[in-house]
Amino acid sequence: MHLRRCVVLLSLAFAGTAGHAACTAQSAATRPHLLELYSSEGCSSCPPAESWLRTLHTGADVVPLEFHVDYWDGLGWRDRFSSARYTARQYEQARRDGGTAVYTPQMVLDGHNWSSWYRGGHLTPPDAASFALSLDAIAMPKRSASVHVRVEADTALVPQFGAYRNYIALVEDELATQVQAGENRGLQLKHDHVVRAFAGPLPLAQAQTDLAVPADVDLAHAALVAFAQDPRDGKVGQVVVLPLAQCMK
């Protein structure tokens, strides 16, 4: 299958660094599954789902994203990773599937609810990609307050994929929280694939945005994930991952 090129350029804003290291990631001819988990540290049913998600490794077959919602925050424990924006995205997913209610834990596979994960469901082999994505970045600083993102797509893509939008997530692994209250009181919860910042929908052809980097993010365990998705039906065109550890050398 011939792949048209959709280029995502990330210009990482920072101060006080002496050099600039090139950082590049290129998508493959196949498209990884995009697997989203909606979770909360206040939810006693969520740790098993998060443990299962932690067994998955970001790669050619699947790219996991863990969104922490905020509607549990008033029920005993405030989740430090939660965001109203992630709750809003979960509601968008529900409406796309013809529903109005949301819940945790929920898995969303390639834009649609996927409930068979807890019954031993398996991911199918990745499909051929609709188009290619590449991420090119200047140096990543050891500490930065923001990431400036410029998104460009081949204009030839627009007629066929004009409804698609680009989304960018800053994802962090190897996180842990000692929960002091709520349903998970007394437990230490471990997290991988946690979304720490998110931007989108962004136009497919050309867009610029800034991602605020939380001060406690460990860039050695973080990555940028870019994916192109049709917000109408949830179809994912391509996903590409840029580990930030390689940008800190």
pLDDT in tens, 78-110: 999 999 999 999 999 999 999 999 999 999 999
3-15 pLDDT per residue, tens: 444 444 554 443 3
Residue 242, beta-bridge partner list: 224
User: Counting Cβ atoms within 10 Å, is residue 249 exposed (0-12), middle (13-18) or buried (19+)?
Assistant: exposed
Cis peptide bond N-terminal to 214, omega within 30: no
- CA distance linking residue 72 with residue 63, whole number of Å: 25
* β-strand partners of 236: 229
Confidence label for 77 from pLDDT (cuts 50, 70 and 90):
very high
DSSP of 211-226: EE--TT--GGGEEEEE
d(CA 33, CA 117) in angstroms, rounded, equals 14
Going by C-beta distance under 8 Å and a sequence separation of 6 or more, which residues neighbour residue 24? 134, 135, 136, 137, 242
Tell me, what's the pLDDT at 31?
92
Q: End-to-end distance of the chain based on CA atoms, in angstroms?
A: 36
Q: What is the pLDDT of residues 125-156, one digit of tens each?
A: 888 887 776 665 543 455 557 776 666 666 56
